Amino acid sequence: MKLFFGLIFHMGFVKLNRFKDYWKNDEYFNQTIFRKAISRNRFMLILRMLCVYVGPVTCSYEKVKNIIDHFNEKMISLYYPTKKLTIDEPMMLWRGRLAFRQYMKRKRHKYGLKFYSLPDQMAVHLIMLKAAEITCKNLVEKLYVHKTFCTGTLREKRQNNPKEIEGSKLKKLELCYVHKNNICVLKWKDQRDIRVISSKYNGNLEYTPNR
């Protein structure tokens, strides 16, 4: 089973269209590690018959919860993130029936499973987050106490947003900001008001020429 899951994880790095492509002898594929490790028929049989949970289902991901929890615990012990991280929300195509399938018209795949990930600029690892956390002032302050800088967009009328920011009326390309206790909250207007909060950057503008 360790071999089976190891190959599954490796498929995340070497992406092909179909499972059987990993066992092809064609020079355009030729992934010898799969042919040496296990036969294609045995791999597909395990994939078809695999059951990781037997019991009552209390939540939508109960059947794979143990695997997800084990993976997250291992990543915490094996992986130390670098300085530059970003939160991403990729969508994986899924057209079947699923209670938590989402529809997002602006995504390339409009129907599918939405993931919350933390990509690292200096690595290829992705840490799965259990829930979406919208950026807020309290969160940025807590991260700063733990020596972690944070920069992100801010929702309108979010709790603890500075009144000076929420009450200001801006014209196009104007901005205003409040910098207090090492936290900067900024509002800038383009086509609409854009709110940003940061514990690393201030409200000064830097103009960069288009190449």
Q: How, if at all, do strands 111-114 and 102-103 pair?
A: antiparallel
Average pLDDT value for residue range 84-95: 78
Tell me the residue range of the domain where 172 lies.
137-198
Question: Is 25 inside any structural domain?
Answer: yes
Nearest C-alpha neighbor of 10 from the set 43, 42, 45: 43
Question: Is 122 inside any structural domain?
Answer: no
pLDDT, greater one: 34 or 151: 34
170-211: pLDDT as tens digits: 888 888 898 888 889 999 888 888 888 888 888 887 777 776
| pLDDT > 90? residue 69 | no
Report pLDDT for 132.
35
Question: Is 17 inside any structural domain?
Answer: yes
For residues 92 and 131, the answer to whether their CB atoms sit within 8 Å is no
Question: Is 210 inside any structural domain?
Answer: no
Of 27-41, 116-130, 156-170, the least confident: 116-130
Report pLDDT for 41.
94
Question: Is 45 inside any structural domain?
Answer: yes
Question: Is 116 inside any structural domain?
Answer: no
Question: Is 91 inside any structural domain?
Answer: no
104-113: pLDDT as tens digits: 777 777 888 8
pLDDT, greater one: 72 or 21: 21
Report pLDDT for 206.
77
Nearest C-alpha neighbor of 16 from the set 38, 2, 42, 34: 34
Report pLDDT for 123.
58
pLDDT, greater one: 102 or 182: 182
- Number of domains observed in the structure of the chain: 2
113-155: pLDDT as tens digits: 877 777 777 655 444 434 334 577 888 888 888 888 888 888 8
Question: Is 26 inside any structural domain?
Answer: yes
| pLDDT > 60? residue 47 | yes
1-29: pLDDT as tens digits: 889 989 998 998 888 989 999 999 888 88
- Inter-helix orientation angle 40-49/2-11, to 10°: 100
Nearest C-alpha neighbor of 124 from the set 8, 10, 46, 6: 10
